[in-house]
Amino acid sequence: MASSYKDEDGHISVKKPENTAFKQQRLPAWQPVLTAGTVLPAFFIIGLIFIPIGIGLYVTSNNIKEFEIDYTGLDPSSPCFNCSQNFSWNSTKPCTCSIPFYLEQPYESNVFMYYGLSNFYQNHRRYVKSRDDSQLNGNEESLRKPSKECEPYARHDNRPIAPCGAIANSMFNDTLELFYSDPNGTKTQIPLTATGIAWWTDKHVKFRNPGGNNDNLTAAFQGTTKPINWRRPAYELDSDPENNGFINEDFIVWMRTAALPTFRKLYRIIQRRNTMVPTLPRGNYTLEVVYNYPVRSFDGRKRMIFSTISWMGGKNPFLGIAYITVGSVCFLLGVILLFIHHKYDNRNNNPDISSN
Amino acid sequence: MLRRSLNRLLGGDERRVDNRTIYIGHQSFPVNEAFIPPKFCDNRIVSSKYTVWNFLPKNLFEQFRRIANFYFLIIFLVQVIVDTPTSPVTSGLPLFFVITVTAIKQGYEDWLRHKADREVNKSTVKVLENGEETSKESEKIKVGDIVEVTENDTFPCDLILLQSSRDDGTCFVTTASLDGESNHKTHYTVPDIERDLQSLSATIECEQPQPDLYKFNGRMHIYKNDQEPTVRSLGPENLLLKGATLKNTQKICGVAVYTGMETKMALNYQGKSQKRSVVEKSINAFLLVYLCILVSKALVCTTLKYVWQNKPGQDEPWYNEKTQKEKDTNLYLKMFTDFLSFMVLFNFIIPVSMYVTVEMQKFLGSFFITWDKDFFDPEIQEGALVNTSDLNEELGQVEYIFTDKTGTLTQNNMEFIECCIDGFQYKHRGACSELDGFCVTDGPVNKLQQKAGREREELFLRALCLCHTVQVKESTEQARSQGEDCIDQVDGLPVEDEALQPPQEERGFIASSPDEIALVKGAMRYGFTFLGLESKTMKILNRNKDVEMYELLHVLNFDPVRRRMSVIVRSRSGDTLLFCKGADSSIFPRVRQEEVERIRMHVERNATDGYRTLCVAYKHLSEEEYAQADEGLREARLALQDREEKLMAVYNQVETGMNLLGATAVEDRLQEEAAETMEALQGAGMKVWVLTGDKMETAKSTCYACGLFQKRTELLELTVRTLEDGGRKREDRLHELLSEYHKKAVQDAPPVKAGGSRGRFFGKQDYGFIIDGPSLSIVLSSSSESNSNLYKNLFLQICQNCTAVLCCRMAPLQKAQIVKMVKNCKGSPITLSIGDGANDVSMILEAHVGIGIKGKEGRQAVRNSDYAIPKLKHLKKLLLAHGHLYYVRIAHLVQYFFYKNLCFILPQFLYQFFCGYSQQPLYDAAYLTMYNICFTSMPILAYSLFEQHICIEFLLKNANLYSEVAKNAMLRWELFLYWTLLGVFHGLVFFFGVRFLFGNPALQDNGQVFGNWSYGTIVFTVLVFTVTLKLALDTRHWTWINHFVIWGSLAFYVFFSFFWGGIIWPFQKHQRLYFVFANMLSSVSAWLVIILLILLSLLPEILLVVLRKPRGPYARKLSEDDLLQSSRLQPSHHCPIST
């Protein structure tokens, strides 16, 4: 039994082991030795690179202008107090409120308008998974038969919900409009661009309307019902057919679930039209809110944020500070190490020399 | 028959007592009125574990018996049953991978076994049936079949030799594949068997199969024409074992007695007992800690979840309602499933892949031992052998070495040095003895003083010539082997090298022990040549060139208990003589006392010189005495039960009242580099104990010769001699001596710190301890229990403070006892036993690591060892280089694995605080699954195979480096804590670094925002890079493989992420990661934060390396590098390739 097996082994061991670098564990190898000598310059270099980057980041972040309005309306003095108090899903008449504000600085470049929610757990597991990506990708079968993950937002009145799931159902539906009050008293509405706010790949690949290029979205959504909390069905989200149905960018932005319970999402872009005039000149503005979205029940907050954008994105002093800190620490460590190394080397070399 | 089979099924005891009766040639006899053909198993060998049908269930069952696999299976089942955050795939896939790989490996091995089995089972064998020769498949042989085997064939089953083509009814057999002994053994036919086997009617009664290769008891009843059956005893010399090969004999016929799985070979085939290494124990301890972390994490999260949900509006806000089913679930059940879900979410902290990686590291790593050309010995044409790869790292942890003397410290290459006849010394002069006994000249006997009487002299030489079991190789064979095929015969090994051919003279003799050949050759120098044994007649060529003939009547075999052997011969003149040779201690009590003193002096002097001594005695047997002895021997040999004991009694009875003739001294030279090896091992902080069955003086001189004892070593002796000094009771004296030595060596000496070698250089008194077998047995089995424990403790404490300990006169079992005692003492040190003979097997099996030397005493030690090396000198590299490296590698592997999984899972844990404790995973399922399988597994595997933090050459030169990793130094709890804290630190940095970045999720320059999957992907990217670069920082030996694997893993991660996010996967329910990675890379902020966090995580590590350096082993490495660089032109960092 084992004999032939063993013989094989025996046969192998009879052969003289090959004298290859691999088998003799003698592969040529680079043997880096981390010494104070090699690490010290690295510390200095890191310090020297990081501190300027940090300063650059910090300055950039500081140059980004940001303006934030909390329009939740918790405070009785707030214009939206009534709307927030009298909220009802069934009310047919939308509640509107307008918040006046004053911009002290003109916004020169494109201005990005975000809405922010607080204490809204878009990253709750039950919530995150409550969607059907294949339905959103235009799959006819999933349109009629939403995935089980969408429960309890999969069917309503025995008809499949399109788009199904908790995420879609709770889509942010406040309408924000911005008016500029001229010093002479006239109110002009500032045009807001609703496209370019979602990832290109999401809009063009991941999200697709059912029925392919069928112009008649209403027909494509035949047999489905709108999400319970929506006021309009999906095919009436926008008049522009390129921004309607599942490929509505507001919808797509909402469907990208936020990482943290306090988050902001891109709402509109205010394009700069004229190089001569600032996008948003200094002055008085009014934010007109159609208050549809209740947040009081879960202690949430709603904000509207204007922000300019730099190469590093929105305003975030963290990166700059972190870079400056790490750079300085590295530099400092370099100095300390240099000191220690110098001192230690002197002490260490003596016995070495004597032993040699 | 039913009862019989029932009996066989029931208790093994009954079976053992039971004999089996075999009808040769399946003939039935009228004698047995109720002839029931007994049922024996067929000759099919089944070494395979599985069949095609039961492979899957059986293999799966066996795999899930492992705790770890079972744990993962449970996790997987929880995922399937409970609604858990991660899909069952995440843990199912790795588990499936592990199980599949293991199953494939085991399946392949089993297929090989099947193949080997089939080869054996289907080979054709000639069987005599009804007077005709028929060919049968081997598996169809039944017990009782008469099988014919021709030269160089292996026996298909265990056979009783009936007939040989040789005239003298013998055949030669080599059992190389059974026990590795390649010498030819003679087996005998059963006497009085007719030539015509067909007409033979006989039965064999023999014991039930038992695994001992060297034991067989049986009886053959031969029926001849209604006469009373003649009874012949059968012993191991009649039994041809399956697996052995027929040599030197044209063909034999034998009757099958044991077949198939009942052959001795099959019974001997069994897996060795599992030895577990300290590293494995550490792994289990660490696992327990991580399990606690896991459970507490899950508990914390579950508790917090319910606290959090108590606040109104949190549990079920309007935007995130529960399904009806969820609402209906019982609260406590929900809590429980939540707990399970958290367990599942965090279960990656205990990695499945660690087991695979550790196994692979051990399996692949062990190849470096077999491949090492330094372990190749040109003499035996073999390198090292690894029998188990589970203990590689244990080689780096050895604290105690127990070594055998003969064949291990010494070469077991015997050379006759001198003899002493009647107290006169005869020394063979001439430098020729240096030349491997090549001296053929019939050198004149050097008369140092006077000559003993000529008669005594010749009697002594005759005794040397007769009292042995040496065989002379046949001249025809010799001619043939010199002629056409000169590869066979010598040792059963192909000998290609001319220089390896043993000298002419040596070829002439075959014996199982080299002592015997040395003695026969010694006698030859003095003019008496042994010509050979032919049909019970021994021929001797005496000084006058006359041939003397002796009839060999009995051989009283050598055994280690009696420590002597005898022959009874009858000379031409009709005198019956008994010649006996053996150890002095076993001979002196059995000879007339007046002769002893003269010889004892010589023996002791020879022993002090380090020679092996044997005493020779003889005895005239009168007719009556012989008749009595003959009767006793025959009777004892025929006994079926207790044959050994009975024989022993007869032997002891016969071997009394002898006349002492003289003594011989045979030199056993030290192994090559024995002293250097011992010095290196002691320098490495290991304690070397010599355990030998040899005399104290011989052993002591060997110890001095190989430097274990130095001139200034103070020897503490605890032997029968010192015990009997005072003339008092041994035990009192023992107590006294032990306390005295204890005071000397333990209490007065300063405590020895780790690395005992230091004492040597600082002028501390060295102590050597000597104990012999009888004294040890008093120590171990004292009359009272408490005393025994006290003695044991004293003894151990003394020994621990001695640089070397010598235990002589040890029985094999005592050797094991000592190993066991040290193994179980405080601190449970790692022990290593090294030996070459069958008498070392017990200690090899007992020690943590057993090393066999491929010596001359057969292969039993090698078979039972964990590692086998050709020479003692190889032990140095095996321990100092291989052992050290393996330990460092695997220790780092283990720590690293725990670390990398901690910092993998910690962010996921922290994320729970931000997602309402909803078990939302931070990473995508693909990342969860692949992290341990693909992204981070290969670099650590490569590291654990190729790392040489210190060059092999340097390790060998500086033995004290070994003690730096002693006592599991790299897996201590402090270090484990360090790694754990590092993991926690990294986890915190990863998570909160990205958390602060996501304070404003608008991270792209077009104002678009990132979601939760981007968050996870950024954390994961930082994680993969940091963890891999951390390993890169630890790697001291960058071969191209390390480069390839480390950079390749990172590249693969990037590539995979692109690929995974680049396609709408048709079978995925979610397209979570669609273009997440690409979008992440398009954000400058993401890049910046990734770089920052990686650097920040590694910063303390770099700092530590720099600060720790001067005290760590790297400092030496550095100075070595400096040395090398100064001696080389190019200041390159390459490892010096030795010339």
Domain positions in chain B are: 141-267, 352-367+881-1108, 375-410+670-746+766-874, 414-427+455-474+507-668
- On whether the CB atoms of residues B939 and B1028 are closer than 8 A, the answer is yes
The nearest CA of chain B is from the CA of A85 a distance in Å of 16
Q: Are B913 and B907 in contact (CB under 8 A)?
A: no
Range of B756-770, B895-909, B1114-1128 with top mean pLDDT: B895-909
Residue A318, pLDDT > 70, answer: yes
A–B interface: beta-carbon pairs under 8 A: 322
Residue A16 to residue B177, Cβ atoms within 8 A: no
pLDDT of residue B451: 58
Is the CB of B324 less than 8 angstroms away from the CB of A7? no
Indicate the residue of A13, A17, A133 with minimum beta-carbon distance to B1070: A133
Report strand pairing: B687-691 vs B400-403: parallel
Q: Nearest CA of chain A to the CA of B382: how many Å?
A: 5
Question: Does B126 count as an annotated binding residue?
Answer: no
Q: Which of A112-126, B751-765, B994-1008 is predicted least confidently?
A: B751-765
Q: Within the 169-188 window of chain B, which residues sit less than 8 Å (CB to CB) from chain A?
A: 177
The minimum CA-CA distance between B495 and chain A, rounded to whole Å, is: 11
The pLDDT of residue A8 is 37
Chain A residues touching residue B1038 (CB < 8 angstroms): 29-32
Would the CB atoms of A27 and B1041 count as touching at under 8 Å?
A: yes
pLDDT tens, B231-248?
Answer: 878 888 888 888 788 877
Which residue in the set A166, A313, A323 is minimally distant from B1003, CB to CB?
A313
**pLDDT for B276:** 75
> Residue B6: its pLDDT value, please?
44
The chain-wide mean pLDDT, for chain B, equals 79
Question: How far apart are alpha carbons B1019 and B1011 in whole angstroms?
Answer: 13
* B997:A316 CB<8 A: yes
Contacts of A206 in chain B (CB under 8 A): 1064, 1071, 1074-1075
- Report which listed range, B193-202, B204-213, B935-944, is most confident: B935-944
Whether residue A317 has a cis bond before it, omega within 30° of 0: no
Whether B498 shows a pLDDT value over 60: the answer reads no
B1098 near A CB under 8 A: no
pLDDT of B945 > 70? The answer is: yes
B13 is in an annotated binding site: no
Contacts of B392 in chain A (CB under 8 A): none
The rounded percent of chain B whose pLDDT value lies above 90 is: 20
**A178-214, pLDDT tens digit by residue?**
999 988 888 899 999 998 999 999 999 999 998 876 6
Question: CB–CB of B205/B224 below 8 Å?
Answer: no
Q: What is the pLDDT of residues B394-405, one digit of tens each?
A: 999 999 999 988
Task: Please name every residue paired with B234 in a beta bridge, in sequence order, or none if there are none.
Answer: B218
Q: What is the ipTM of this complex?
A: 0.94
Provide the β-strand partners of residue B556.
B566
Q: What pLDDT is stored for residue B400 in this prediction?
A: 92
Helices (H), B236-351: 264-268, 278-310, 324-328, 331-346
Counting beta carbons within 10 angstroms of the beta carbon of residue B72, is it exposed (0 to 12), middle (13 to 18) or buried (19 or more)? buried
The pLDDT value given to residue B443 = 38
Q: Residue B1002 and residue A309: Cβ atoms within 8 Å?
A: yes
**Strands (DSSP E) along B611-744, which ranges?**
611-621, 659-670, 687-691, 714-718
Q: Which of A152, A319, A344 sits opposite B1088 (nearest CB)?
A: A319
DSSP-derived letter for residue B377 is B
Average pLDDT over residues B840-852: 86
Is B5's pLDDT higher than 60? no
pLDDT in tens, B469-492: 777 765 444 434 343 333 333 333
Q: Check residues A346 and B1061 and name the one with the higher pLDDT.
A: B1061
B245 touches chain A (CB under 8 A): no
From B148, B154, B187, select the one nearest B170 (Cα to Cα): B187
In this predicted structure, the answer to whether residue B511 has a pLDDT above a threshold of 50 is: yes
Note the pLDDT tens digit of each residue in B1090-1100.
Answer: 999 999 999 98
Rounded to an integer, the average pLDDT of B893-919 is: 94
Tokens of B422: 């009647």
Average pLDDT over residues B92-117: 82
Q: Which of B208-217, B836-845, B1076-1085 has the highest mean pLDDT?
A: B1076-1085
B997–A298: do the CB atoms touch at under 8 Å?
Answer: no
Choose the catalytic residue: B158, B179, B372, B404.
Answer: B404
Q: How far apart are CA B23 and CA B38, in angstroms?
A: 9
- Which of B1032, B1014, B1139 minimizes the C-alpha distance to B1077? B1014
Q: Which of A204-218, B79-93, B740-754, B988-1002 has the highest mean pLDDT?
A: B988-1002
Calculate mean pLDDT across residues B450-476: 74
| pLDDT computed for residue B1131 by the predictor | 37
> Which architecture, in CATH terms, is B414-427+455-474+507-668?
3-Layer(aba) Sandwich (3.40)
The pLDDT of residue A30 is above 60: yes
Contact B1135 A198 (CB under 8 A): no
pLDDT reported for residue B16: 42
Strands B831-835 vs B400-403: parallel, antiparallel or unpaired: parallel
Q: Among residues 259-288 of chain B, which lie with CB inside 8 Å of chain A?
A: 265-266, 269
Q: Cβ of B1111 under 8 Å from any chain A Cβ?
A: no
Q: Which one of A170, A201, A315 has the shortest CB-CB distance to B1000? A: A315
pLDDT reported for residue A115: 95
Pick the CATH number of B141-267 from 2.40.30.10, 2.70.150.10, 2.60.40.1930, 2.60.40.10: 2.70.150.10
**Average per-residue pLDDT in chain A?**
86
pLDDT class of B64 with cuts at 50, 70, 90: confident
B543-595 per-position pLDDT tens digit: 888 888 888 888 887 776 677 888 888 888 888 888 898 888 788 888 888 77
List the single residue in B with minimal CA-CA distance to A315.
Answer: B1000
Cβ contact (<8 Å) for B1096 and A326?
Answer: yes
Across B936-950, average pLDDT? 92
* A62 contacts on B by Cβ (under 8 Å): none
Tens digit of each residue's pLDDT (9 = 90 or more) over B584-625: 878 888 888 877 887 888 888 887 776 778 888 888 888 888
Least confident of A281-290, B354-363, B1129-1138: B1129-1138
Range B27-44 average pLDDT: 64
B839 labelled binding-site residue: yes
- To the query of whether residue B1122 is one of the catalytic residues in this protein, the response is no
**If contacts are CB pairs under 8 Å, which of residues 443-462 in chain B contact chain A?**
none
Q: Which residues from chain B sit within 8 angstroms of residue A258, using beta carbons?
A: 1001, 1009, 1011-1012
Structure tokens at B818: 């000592």
Report, as an integer, the average pLDDT of B131-143. 83
Long-range contacts formed by B781-788: CB under 8 A, 24+ apart? B782/B731, B783/B731, B787/B731, B787/B735
pLDDT in tens, B960-979: 889 888 888 889 999 999 99
- How far apart are alpha carbons B148 and B136 in whole angstroms? 11
Q: Is B1114 on the interface with A (CB under 8 A)?
A: yes
B1069–A307 CB contact, under 8 Å: no
Confidence grade of residue B1077 (pLDDT, cut at 50, 70, 90): very high
Q: What CATH number is given for B375-410+670-746+766-874 in this structure? A: 3.40.50.1000
Q: Which residues of A touch B46 (CB under 8 A)?
A: 1
> Which is more confident, B839 or B437?
B839
**Residues from chain B contacting residue A149 (CB–CB below 8 Å):** 1069
Q: What is the pLDDT of residue B29?
A: 55
Q: Is B840 annotated as a binding residue?
A: yes
| Residue B1045 distance to chain A (closest CA, Å) | 14
Query: B1044 in contact with A at a CB cutoff of 8 Å?
Result: no
Q: Is B1072 annotated as a binding residue?
A: no
For helices B454-466 and B514-525, give the axis angle rounded to 10 degrees. 150
C-alpha distances out from residue B845 to B275, B524, B694, B833, B862, Å: 9, 40, 21, 8, 11
Is A5 within 8 Å of B47 when comparing Cβ atoms? yes
Q: Cβ of A19 and B916 within 8 Å?
A: no
Using the predicted structure, report yes or no on whether residue B1136 has a pLDDT greater than 50. no
